Amino acid sequence: MLYKSIPFLLILFIFGSCRKGDANANKAPNTKLSVSVIDLTGDDRLNSKVRMSWFGTDLDGFVEGYEFSLDNQNWTYTTIQDSVFIFPLEAGQDTTDVDFYVRSIDNEGLTDPTPAYLKVPLKNSAPEASFDNDRGPKDSAFCVSTFYWRASDPDGNETLQKVFLKFNEGSWTEIARNQNLISFLVDTAISSGPATGQIYYGRNSTAESFTIDGLLPNAENTLYIKSVDLAGAESPVDTADSFYLKNKTPGINTLWLNGHVAAVAHQYRGFLNNAGVSYDFLDYGSNSGAGQPVYWDPTFKIILSLYDKLFLNAPTSLFPNTVTGENTILLNYIGRSVEQFHNNGGKSFTTCALLARKIEDLENVAGPFAMENTENENGFTRIFLDSALVNTVDTIRFPKLHPGSIQTGVVPIIKSADSETFFRGQLTKYQGWTGDNVLGTIRRGSNNKISQVFIAVELHNYVAQGSSATIELLIGEIMKNEF
């Protein structure tokens, strides 16, 4: 019998209302089900989520409550007249017939001796599971791939029992049913062949205690999903969009994050290469920003945790996110991840002009980076060819930076309380500008060496007379000698 294998606590019901009859002679109440027969067979049956309704009458009093049962022996008391029941099928069963009894109890405790009865023919419906590919990796992913999935069951989501994921030819791995956002960090020590991956739920910074296998570093990857209900029925397998999984370079501890178009990225590549900096390259600017993750947190946050140093060149343009609806500068997307990176001892060099943005437009910039606001004064400023960014920390080690062309719309910054001024701009001021001229700041680590650099101009605009030597000297001194 079904009731022997399924506790009555698994039967869910929704409370309705109770009817009271008129008191007459002391007679037992009578009970009726709203449906007396369900004549369904074969595949033409009800799913396991069924609404049942009943009522009772009493000629000599009124109905106080009801009891229902699946075996006419064990009863559950209620004061309702209708319920939505979820009748779980036994594992491996596709169909079954459930015996349902209900009886009235009058105000003197007298029970209907002939309970109303209905045989309920059930057929289990297979669950469903699928990926939202708009929220998953696009053509490629770097070390970390993040997915959003859904699972449901026509018989009621309460009947979902398990959800499984599988990479490529790997094994099915069970995951938590309530964790729809999930990220995988591939084993960075493996350059080819099957590898395991750490699992991160939601925006957690700590991986789960179990892993998934079957990932293919530096190759195409496909992720599959399926769900299983309480009856053991499996959903059809859904497939996420395939993507190329590029892995971290062993031994490299510097991440270069590019936010510019390919031509500008080419310039920064020259700066870093000529400065002797070895790096892994993360391109979020080329191809109209197509490589950006949908979920910067956790995707970028986990990637950044793999490195000790970050070099970031970001444009002034806005980056739209079609899923979240955000449209903001790159630094706002990554600011909190960079802050956690700094808190864990990471070091960063950032070059990005902020234009005349207000502090409310810099929600995730002020604080994570070594500045607290922009100088939003009346008027505007320029830097001419005979002017420069002049460093105020060490004039021997760190050079002046002259622009390659007249720089218009230069917006200085207000440094954070825990930072130092690094560069000041020789500004030409117009229309009553009265603000400060700070265009570079630093923070220091516990050893008094520089640990963070923030330069509020785009350094590729400071290649004076076709020579990038001063920029390469600055980058090399910071990235190799200070960091």
| Each residue's pLDDT tens digit, 78-89 | 999 998 887 766
Architecture of the domain delimited by 2-123? Sandwich (2.60)
Mean pLDDT of 298-318: 96
Predicted confidence at residue 94, as pLDDT, reads 73
**CB 68 within 8 Å of CB 82:** no
Quickly list H helices, 284-429: 286-289, 296-304, 330-343
**Tokens (6 digits) for 438:** 């700070």
For the chain, the straight-line distance linking the first and the last C-alpha, in angstroms and rounded, comes to 71
Predicted confidence at residue 30, as pLDDT, reads 95
CA 250 from centre of chain: 27
User: Strands (DSSP E) along 404-483, which ranges?
Assistant: 407-408, 413-414, 420-425, 428-430, 438-444, 450-455
254-482: CATH topology is: Rossmann fold (3.40.50)
Percent of all residues in the chain with a pLDDT value above 90, rounded to a whole number: 72
Assess whether pLDDT exceeds 90 at residue 459: yes
Instruction: Looking at mean pLDDT, say which of 16-30, 278-292, 298-312 comes out highest.
Output: 298-312
Tell me how far apart the alpha carbons of residues 62 and 279 are, in angstroms, rounded to a whole number: 82
Nearest-5° Cα angle at 45, 44 to 47: 130
**Tokens (6 digits) for 258:** 């590019």
Tell me how far apart the alpha carbons of residues 192 and 219 are, in angstroms, rounded to a whole number: 8
Who wins on pLDDT, 199 or 11? 199
The region that residue 57 occupies, defined by phi over 0 for left and psi between -120 and 50 for alpha, beta otherwise, is beta
Mean pLDDT check: name the lowest of 146-155, 203-212, 268-277, 354-363: 354-363
**Tokens (6 digits) for 393:** 């920390």
Residue-wise over 337-369: b if at least 16 C-beta within 10 A, else e? bbebbbeeebbbbbbbbbeebeeebbebbbbbb
Confirm whether 128-246 and 254-482 share one CATH topology.
Answer: no
Tell me how far apart the alpha carbons of residues 258 and 106 are, in angstroms, rounded to a whole number: 77
Assess whether pLDDT exceeds 80 at residue 212: yes
Residue 142, classified by CB atoms within 10 Å of its CB into exposed (0-12), middle (13-18) or buried (19+), is buried
Residue 343 phi/psi, 5-degree rounding, is -60, -25
Mean pLDDT of 365-369: 94
Tell me how far apart the alpha carbons of residues 250 and 270 are, in angstroms, rounded to a whole number: 22
Q: How confident is residue 200, by pLDDT bands cut at 50, 70 and 90?
A: very high
Domain boundaries, the chain: 2-123, 128-246, 254-482
| Each residue's pLDDT tens digit, 430-453 | 988 888 999 999 999 999 999 999
Tell me how far apart the alpha carbons of residues 423 and 104 are, in angstroms, rounded to a whole number: 85
- Looking only at the bridges linking them, the beta strands covering 450-455 and 347-351 are parallel
- Write the CA distances from 299 to 109, 204, 236, 409, integer angstroms: 63, 10, 28, 34
**CB 316 within 8 Å of CB 355:** yes
Instruction: Looking at mean pLDDT, say which of 6-10, 288-292, 423-427 comes out highest.
Output: 423-427
SS3 state of residue 54: strand
Q: How confident is residue 389, by pLDDT bands cut at 50, 70 and 90?
A: very high
Cβ contacts of residue 178 below 8 Å, gap of 6+?
none
Q: How confident is residue 4, by pLDDT bands cut at 50, 70 and 90?
A: very low
Amino acid identity for residue 110 in this structure? L
Predicted confidence at residue 42, as pLDDT, reads 54
Tell me how far apart the alpha carbons of residues 400 and 202 are, in angstroms, rounded to a whole number: 45
Tell me how far apart the alpha carbons of residues 374 and 301 are, in angstroms, rounded to a whole number: 26
CA 468 from centre of chain: 40
Write down the mean pLDDT value for the chain: 89
**Tokens (6 digits) for 322:** 């079609």
- Write the CA distances from 142 to 303, 350, 357, integer angstroms: 8, 21, 31
CATH 2.60.40.10 given to domain 128-246: yes
| Each residue's pLDDT tens digit, 5-61 | 333 333 434 333 334 444 445 799 999 998 866 755 555 566 667 888 999 999 889
